[in-house]
Amino acid sequence: MGHIQTELEDDVLRITIDRPEKKNALTGTMYDALADAVEQGDANPDVRVMLLHGNGDSFTAGNDLEDFVANQWKGQAMPPAVRFITTVVHATKPIVAAVQGSAVGVGVTILLHCDLVYAADNAKLMMPFVNLGIVPEAASTVLLPLQIGHQLASELLMLGTPISAQRGYELRIVNAVVAPGALLPTAMNAAQMLAEKPAAALRATKALMKKAGTAEIERALREEVEVIAERLGSPETREALTAFQQKRKPNFRQFR
């Protein structure tokens, strides 16, 4: 699978983002591999729980912008990033996330769909979608305001303010904050505790907890993708990506 590794251990499927030299920044190929791993784990009767984490000093720096520029969404019925998000949203089995270092963009929004999230005390969470001239994804425009309130969600989604793991815990995005060395053992312990429980009861409980918001999440997923696809051709996004390539600060004041 290249930069995405999987390992089945005691009924827990560990899915590892393994591109530490690039802070686990995600390419289209990696998104497809992640979607494959989650789909296969959800379908495999030997898997009771999935654990998502990153190798090295980061969870994921979000999109690899060079790959994103080279492979934009135009003409793609289901862009790889959207496929991965949709697969996680629809997964029936519990998903545990272990987050360290940088968690950017989808590295934060995907956590809203995980069942348990543990973070190292060096984790830094940031959602800079607006900075790229686009809008947030993964139904975060619905889930985050519901979870933490409109004003705090505006701080994270509109200002793109980075937050610490401790702040993520205070905002109920994270279940617990631990030392970096304790992160994987803590997350794996939680995953194994889930794996020991009645699997069908866990799946039914997860489905019931998610049922009330399913229609609104589906609407948000669909509309966010439509707006992102539209925004990708906007002057603001072109300026953001050009500025990134030229290693300069973008000038958005030229647009109204």
| 211 domain residue, yes or no | yes
Q: What is the pLDDT of residue 180?
A: 98
| 194 domain residue, yes or no | no
Residue 48 has pLDDT above 60, yes or no: yes
Q: What is the pLDDT of residue 68?
A: 78
The Cα 152–Cα 161 span in angstroms is: 10
pLDDT tens digits, 99-153: 999 999 999 999 999 999 999 999 999 999 999 999 999 999 999 999 999 999 9
| 191 domain residue, yes or no | no
| 193 domain residue, yes or no | no
What is the tally of structural domains in the chain? Answer: 1
| 186 domain residue, yes or no | no
Q: Let me know: does 191 contact 35? Beta carbons within 8 Å.
A: no
pLDDT tens digits, 61-91: 999 988 877 777 666 778 999 999 999 999 9
pTM of the model as a whole: 0.95
pLDDT tens digits, 159-208: 999 999 999 999 999 999 999 999 999 999 999 999 999 999 999 999 99
| 37 domain residue, yes or no | yes
131 lies in which domain range? 1-180+199-256
| 203 domain residue, yes or no | yes
Q: For residue 222, what are its two tokens? A: 């669909």
Q: What is the pLDDT of residue 75?
A: 66
Share of the chain above pLDDT 70, in %: 98
**pLDDT band at residue 50 under the 50/70/90 scheme:** very high
| Strands, sheet with 176-178, edge to edge from the N-terminal-most edge strand | 4-9, 12-17, 49-54, 95-99, 116-120, 176-178
The Cα 197–Cα 89 span in angstroms is: 22
Rounded to 10 degrees, the C-alpha dihedral 43/71/143/55 comes to 60
Q: Let me know: does 88 contact 50? Beta carbons within 8 Å.
A: no
Share of the chain above pLDDT 90, in %: 89
Residue 241 has pLDDT above 70, yes or no: yes
The Cα 15–Cα 99 span in angstroms is: 13
Q: What is the pLDDT of residue 2?
A: 85
Quickly count: other Cβ atoms within 10 Å of residue 179's Cβ. Answer: 10
**pLDDT band at residue 15 under the 50/70/90 scheme:** very high
Domain holding 157: CATH number? 3.90.226.10
| 189 domain residue, yes or no | no
